[in-house]
Amino acid sequence: MQAFDRDLQSIQEARNLAANAFEAWKTWSTASQEQVDRVCAAMAQAALFASERLGIMAHEETGYGVSEHKRLKNEFAARNVWESIKDLKTVGVIGHDVEKKIYDIAWPVGVIAALTPSTNPTSTVIYKILIAVKARDAIVFAPHPAAARCSYEAAKIMAQAAEANGAPPGLVSCMQNISLDGTQALMRHKYVALILATGGTPMVRAAHSTGKPAYGVGPGNVPVYVDRSADLEKAARYIVASKAFDYSTICATEQSVVADRPIAATLAALMEREGAYFMNPHETNLTRNLVFHPDGAMNTAVVGRSAKYIAGMAGFEVPRGTRILVARLTKTGRDEPLSREKLTTVLGWYEEEGWEAGCERCIQLIQFGGRGHSLIIHATDPEVIMAFGLEKPVFRIAVNTMGTLGAIGLTTGVMPSMTLGAGGVGGSITGDNITAYHLFNVKRLAYELSPPPDSAMVPGQPKPGPTVAEIEHTVQQVVEEILNLK
């Protein structure tokens, strides 16, 4: 018997998993809060225990980043995400306004189709499972084909932990036969109620094109402004470490430094001490031509690679200990490819006189490729910090911290998340860090507070119809008009 083509296998798998998830959800939607929390705690513990192994798997399968850093991201997804939602009520009455006599009642969304990237393939799976199951949803993954094995393994570990603690089979699942047709079939399946897409622009557009509700998060061309009031040693240390973290595979990583001119030389020297290599114009041009294709698309061969690896591919050498490559730039937009998001260890560098000019440069960078996403500022002047907070078209402004870890909520107080909303300006439904409370709806049971006005209770007076005489008169007029036309 002839085997099915791979795309047909993928489509059938998507249909089977969606149907199984729907059956599991019908059971899970009636789970108690105690059952939900027991299952989620067990899954978080299982993922935490497997964090190192999954980090190694992700690095080996994709070739991206640093396995130790991927372990840290897995731990963040398992520990920090769970800690942030474990006390969240997601079952039954979750709120009561005594004065307004309203009860808020949680209601799960249903089956979620989750798309995940190759850059953060296991940590994103861990995080999405926890927030979905906590909200009493089922979840089916369509992972990036370049990370299918490690994403499946992460989902399998958590599914086994869930079922061992009372969750129905099929509540958590992941496709193994990956194709574009299969992913489309999953997203468009009649039992899928919502799409949770994290990845590149084409993936996010595909999610939004299905006609279903979707949380889609695209690129983040994140600038970091360093003001003359900043702690420069800390800024230099954080910027280099953040850009080098997992070789810049988190979308909130700094993409370009905008340095206040009076402190620019000092900042550059301090960054060099931390392992930044400032390229000369020739090296910058070699890197520009390597990292981006003529149409502006990024060369996937350099995604998540070390500075030494990229320099070698470009054709020049860097000193031992180099962690990132820095390109001095003057333009922003299509005429300067390196002003785009760079999911690798290459950082742009701009110098501007004063925070107002720095603010404008940051806006240019954001508008070119990161609308709604994130911005980092290093400063101690509260007026400058607030000006950036008020004026930037982004929804995360992280102050005096690493962009990579601050925007996702590891080093700041924002909600821990691996999916960062870009708001309306960025084509997203929300600017929040996506978490469990985005994955359930709220019903409202509302009692009467005041009686209706008297006018609403008075029967309406019907308009009287025409009399016989009026009807005969109208008919006579019509007849006369017809005769006149003849």
CA trace torsion 287, 292, 293, 294 (10° rounding): -90
Q: How many CA atoms lie within 13 A of 337 on its CB side?
A: 18
Q: Is 359 in the active site?
A: no
Spatial distance between the Cα atoms of 343 and 64, rounded to a whole number of angstroms: 10
Helix %, strand %, coil % of the chain (to 5):
50, 20, 35
Give the C-alpha separation, 198 to 483, whole Å: 74
Q: Write the single-letter amino acid at 27.
A: T
CA angle (274, 280, 282) in 5-degree steps = 140
Q: Which of 40, 150, 174, 251 is catalytic?
A: 251
Nearest CA to 69 among 238, 244, 200? 244
DSSP E strand boundaries for 175-213 = 192-198
Taking Cα atoms as reference points, which of 473, 222, 447, 464 lies closest to residue 342?
222
CB atoms within 10 A of CB 352: 18
Assigned token pair, 57: 């798997």
d(CA 255, CA 391): 19
351 pairs with which residues across the strands? 259
Residue labelled with tokens 């980092």: 376
Residue 149 CB neighbours (<10 A):
16
Selection from 6, 116, 10, 122 nearest residue 60 by Cα: 122
3-state secondary structure of 188: helix
Residues marked as catalytic: 251
